[in-house]
Structure 1
């Protein structure tokens, strides 16, 4: 199970995931790896997914290796992979998780005034494209039905908080609380961030840390890596 979460504000946006992959061999006890990379950067933002690891890994690889001009490019790549025209032929993937596979991407673009703006959408293997472009609305997917109360609690908390550092800490606390009740979710976070630095420039940051470290540090941005800067 993978937890994906994010929110878009006027001045910044967040897209993140936990880092655990759980293995369920038929003849051995289950085990997990907390070093998985479920978040990938592309030239216009960040992408993350939950569900089929094979599909998500291939989709992230294709997205990060191509020049993405707009969200329609991402949609076409997604459809191509589902039709077997990408790197992964789903008819031979032998992966029942495809039915529940969902991708989220955070994208920066130039608005009507020529200034950078930000947008999040999701793509579902069965349900298709579902926009999540509303500002100030925390979202997540991948959680189970018995964790809805935790999701609702953090939606309310994060939606009403504008401060970037506090929002970042709340996102980490969300992952930590889910991990406490679900062994398939890691307390480690991998978070992609877009920050408007000016009317022409967007900074790309990445934080990959244990949730408690982000929560308890006075300045969690000290753990951030400046990975990219995009000028519109």
Structure 2
């Protein structure tokens, strides 16, 4: 019994063992996840405003998110530009949240409890995959770059054919394949952020944007999967 308990303690401690990461890398990751949390709050604000009918400009939201992302990429990562770049990240997240409004509205009409369930499920998946990437051997998941990009290309092709020929089965494949691909991107992007930092790229704002996109992509797909299942039940 004691040995069983001790094994449990060892496995739990392994989840917080980041000894393979330097103090500088750990500090950088804290900044990345702080920015990610801020982006999530802004996305939630955008979605809430849409649901309350206080901001319904979908075209403005789509254009705004693209403009903010391009502007963020074009603005130099310097201490003087930090506030501006943080504002652009928040703007991108806000507009991304707003553009999710119609999907959230449709899901709430089916079953309101799906939204918090999907969000919590996404958080659990995201945290689990992030920890997996951080406690694993350095660069061990960077080989996923090729398969993930190939999968993304296949996803685009499936989307095109589903749209062109109206294959509902193709949509289901696209949905689950997309979920798997973006789960893979969470692991890949997390390890890539560490490698970028170790090679002199300290742009934690842009790094948080990569993870934010992964999180939203997973959240959307879980929302649709749960809503589809609930709709079939009803």
TM over 0.5: no
Point out which structure has higher relative CO (alpha carbons under 8 A, 6+ apart).
2
Give the structure with the higher percent helix.
Answer: 2
The alignment's TM-score, normalised by the length of structure 1, stands at 0.32
Higher Cα Rg, which structure: 2
Give the structure with the higher percent strand.
Answer: 1
